[in-house]
Amino acid sequence: VSSLRHLPEKSWQLAWCCHFSVSPIRITEAMAILLFRVKHGATDCATCHGLYRPVVGDGNLLNGHLVCRNEEQRRFLGRSAGGWIIGPLSDLKEHLEQQRTAFGGFHSNFASGPDDGWESYTVYQLDETAGLDFATKEGSEDYASCSGRYLQLTGKELNQKPIFLNPNKQRMLASGAGDG
C-alpha cells in the first residue's frame, strides 16, 4: 500500500464549476495500469483497446514479466521471447502453466516495454492512486459527457501541472496556461 497523492479539491474548481463537482479519489492499493487507445486511422483488430491491469500474485509471471489483463475485452498482455503480445484471455492459463516463450496473439510489438511500439495503439500509463472523480452537480446536465473517474497520466504534464485521462471516455482534464 502506498501513500495516496491527490490535488486539493479547490485547485480543480475550473470553468465547469457551475455544472460539476470534483473530488480527489481515495484508492487503498497502488496499481499501475496501461490504457490502450486506437490510433487515428488505425484498426482495432479483435477489439483489444482498453485498460490492462497487472495481475499481482503467484503464478502470474510470463517470461519474467507480470501479465496484464483486460477483463472487459477478455484479453491479456504478456511478454514472449520476441516482444509483447495481446492475446485471448482464454489462452493465458496454458501459457502461464507451460511458461511459453513463443505464442501468438492479435497484436504484438518488438519494444522492450509494453507501452511502446504498437502499430494500432497509443499506450498511456495511468496511476490509479492519483486521480479525480468528476461528477455532475445535482440539477445540472453532464455537458459533453465529462463526468467520471480521471486517472493521472504518468510522466506527462501540461503547463507544469498533471494531466488526467478518463479511461472509459475520450476525455482529458488539464490546466490551461492561466489556471492557478
Q: Which long-range contacts (CB under 8 A, 24 or more apart) does 79-88 make?
A: 79/114, 80/108, 82/108, 82/110, 83/108, 83/109, 83/110, 83/111, 83/117, 84/108, 84/109, 84/111, 84/113, 84/114, 84/117, 86/36, 86/46, 86/48
pTM for this prediction: 0.74
Instruction: With CA atoms as reference, report the closest residue to 134 among 148, 114, 124.
Output: 148
What pLDDT, on the 0 to 100 scale, is given for residue 73? 96
71-98 pLDDT tens trace: 999 999 999 998 999 999 999 999 999 9
Mean pLDDT rounded to a whole number for the chain? 82
What pLDDT, on the 0 to 100 scale, is given for residue 157? 87
Sequence-distant (≥ 6) Cβ neighbours of residue 58 within 8 angstroms: none
What pLDDT, on the 0 to 100 scale, is given for residue 131? 85
Whole-number Cα distances in Å, 65 to 19, 81, 94, 123, 136: 44, 11, 16, 18, 40
In this structure, what DSSP letter does residue 2 have? -
Q: Report residue 145: phi and psi, to 5°.
A: 50, 55
What pLDDT, on the 0 to 100 scale, is given for residue 24? 57
Give the cell for residue 32: 499501475
What pLDDT, on the 0 to 100 scale, is given for residue 87? 97
Instruction: With CA atoms as reference, report the closest residue to 21 among 176, 146, 157.
Output: 146
What pLDDT, on the 0 to 100 scale, is given for residue 6? 41
Sequence-distant (≥ 6) Cβ neighbours of residue 173 within 8 angstroms: 12, 132, 134, 150, 163, 164, 165, 166
Residues of the chain under the 70 pLDDT cut? 1-31, 178-180
